[in-house]
Amino acid sequence: MGEIHYRKNKKITANQLAEVFRASDIRRPVEDKPRLEKMLKHADILVTAWDGEKLIGVARALTDYSYCCYLSDLAVDQGYQHKGIGKQLVNEVEMEIGEEAALILLASPTAMDYYPKIGFNQIENGYMIPRKR
């Protein structure tokens, strides 16, 4: 592993996004490339982590830059996990949104122990209308 570089709003392809999702073991619609393309197109913030030319991590967020920011995706290649890359991706998002906006996410059950370790507080007052597909 070389030096990890972080890039804000660097364009990536749906194939690259699918590959990092697969490598991270996050559950996303990796076979639905048009949907991944829309996910990239409509994100307000995209922070990527690179080992040389290899995409190894991604944080994708939607925000108004003044009140709230939803961290929709945080994915790091399993071969690079436990090295602070996810935490740094979150830090980069925080720097981008500033101090006025709250950073909010929905965690998968397998990641519930991870987020408090990188500075998130658990909240109990949330609701959602789930995706149809």
List, for residues 8-58, the tens digit of each pLDDT value. 999 999 999 999 999 998 999 999 999 999 999 999 999 999 999 999 999
Spatial CA neighbour of 86 closest among 60, 54, 124 = 60
Whether the per-residue pLDDT at 130 is higher than 90: the answer is: no
Q: What is the pLDDT of residues 46-97, one digit of tens each?
A: 999 999 999 999 999 999 999 999 999 999 999 999 999 999 999 999 999 9
What is the spatial distance between Cα 73 and Cα 12, in angstroms, rounded to a whole number? 14
The full DSSP string for 46-102 is EEEEEETTEEEEEEEEEE-SSSEEEEEEEEE-GGGTTSSHHHHHHHHHHHHH-SSSE
Q: DSSP class of residue 118? A: T
Higher pLDDT, 99 or 125: 99
Angle at 28 between CA 4 and CA 130, to 5 degrees: 130
Round to whole Å and give the CA distance between 58 and 90: 10
Two structure tokens written together for 34:
């048009």
What integer pLDDT is reported at residue 112 of this predicted model?
87
More confidently predicted of 85 and 132: 85
- Buried/exposed code over 33-63 (b: 16+ C-beta within 10 A; e: otherwise): eeebeebbeebbbbbbbbbeebbbbbbbbeb
Rounded mean pLDDT, 104-114 = 88
Q: Which pLDDT value is given to residue 58?
A: 98
Domain ranges of the chain: 4-117
Give the pLDDT confidence score for residue 10 in this predicted structure: 94
* Residue-level pLDDT at 107: 87
Integer Cα distance of 21 and 53 in angstroms: 17
pLDDT band at 126 (very low <50, low <70, confident <90, very high): confident
**CATH number of the structural domain 4-117:** 3.40.630.30
Closest CA to 4 of 74, 71, 78, 89: 89
Residue range 98-125: mean pLDDT, rounded: 90
Residues of the chain with pLDDT > 70: what percent?
99
